[in-house]
Structure 1
C-alpha cells in the first residue's frame, strides 16, 4: 500500500484497543479504493452512519462481494483502520449514481493498517458478532457496531 494515510503496526501498537469499533459493508473493489485514498464512505455517500463514528474508533470493511452487483460471494474482511478526523466531510469529487443523478459523497478519514484480507469462514468461530442468530441481517444497514474484542481478533487475523 502506498497511501500516505496507511499506518504500520508500529504506529498502532498490537495492544492498542479502540474504545469503539465499527463494521462497514462495501464491495472489495470499493474498499480497495477507500484504502488507497484513506477514507470511509458508506450507504452511497450518505452522512448519517459516518456521523455515528468518533476519532480513534476502530473501523473494519466487510466485503460480501468483489464488485458491487456481483452474484458471486466473497465474504471477507478487506480493510481495518482507525477513524482519523472529528466530523464527516463532503468529498470534492462528484459521484455519478445512474438514474439518481450525481452527488458529492460524505466521507471520514481513516488511517488504515497494512493488512491482508481474511475470509469470514476463517474467523467466524472467533467473533462475538457472528454468534448472534441472524447476525448478517443487520449488515443491510451498511454500518454496525463491532465488539472491540472482534476488532482485535480481526487485526491479528489480518496481520501480514
Structure 2
C-alpha cells in the first residue's frame, strides 16, 4: 500500500533533484529515506527559492512516485556523500501553498501550519496528495514504471 510524503528543500535543490531523477532529504541523511518505499508518492515543499534565503517562496515544487530500489549514497566530493532515492517526477507547475491551506488536512485550522515542515519530511494523507497534485496540474498522472496508489 502506497504512502504519501512531503519533503522540504529549497526550490533550487528540488529542481536539481527532479532534473536528475532523484530525491534527497535533510541534507542527505539516510534515515528519512528509509521510511519512504518504492511506489510511495512524494511532494516537495520549498520555503525558499535558494538554499538559506528568506525570500518567502513558500511553494509546492515537485511531485512524483518513488522508483523501485533502495536508497543509495553518492560521492559529491569534499567528503559529502548524500543519500538519495530515485523518483519518477511528473511534469507539474510549481504552486504557492497558501491558497491550499484550508483544503489540506495537515494545515487546515492550524495557525502554525509550517511547524511540521521544520522536520524535513512527514507523511500526509492520500487526500492531501491528490489535492496537491490537482493544484499542480498533475492530477491523474502516473509516471512510467510507477504503480498508481490503490483505490480507496
With normalisation by structure 1, the TM-score equals 0.80
C-alpha distance in structure 2 between counterparts of 1:123 and 1:37, whole Å? 28
Match of 1:112 in 2: 89
- The DSSP-based 3-state class of the residue aligned with 2:107 is helix
Match of 2:145 in 1: none
How much does 1:95 deviate?
A: 5.0
Gapped runs of 5+ residues in structure 1?
1-17, 97-101
Question: Deviations along 1:102-151, whole A, 9 cap, x unmatched?
Answer: 22110000001100011011211211111263332121111011111111
What aligned pairs does 1:61-140 form with structure 2 within 5 A after superposition?
61-91=44-74, 93-94=75-76, 96=78, 102-131=79-108, 133=110, 134-140=112-118
Match of 1:155 in 2: 133
What aligned pairs does 1:29-40 form with structure 2 within 5 A after superposition?
29-40=12-23
C-alpha distance in structure 2 between counterparts of 1:95 and 1:31, whole Å? 20
C-alpha distance in structure 2 between counterparts of 1:123 and 1:132, whole Å? 12
- The DSSP-based 3-state class of the residue aligned with 2:101 is helix
Match of 2:142 in 1: none
Is the CA contact 1:21–1:59 (under 8 Å) kept in the aligned structure 2? yes
**Cα separation, partners in 2 of 1:95 and 1:131, compared to 1, 3 Å:** farther
RMSD (CA atoms): 1.5
Q: How many pairs does the alignment contain?
A: 137
Match of 1:3 in 2: none
**Among residues 24, 34, 41, which one is paired with 2:24 in the alignment?**
41
Match of 1:9 in 2: none
With normalisation by structure 2, the TM-score equals 0.84
Q: Deviating runs (4+, > 4 A) in structure 1?
A: none
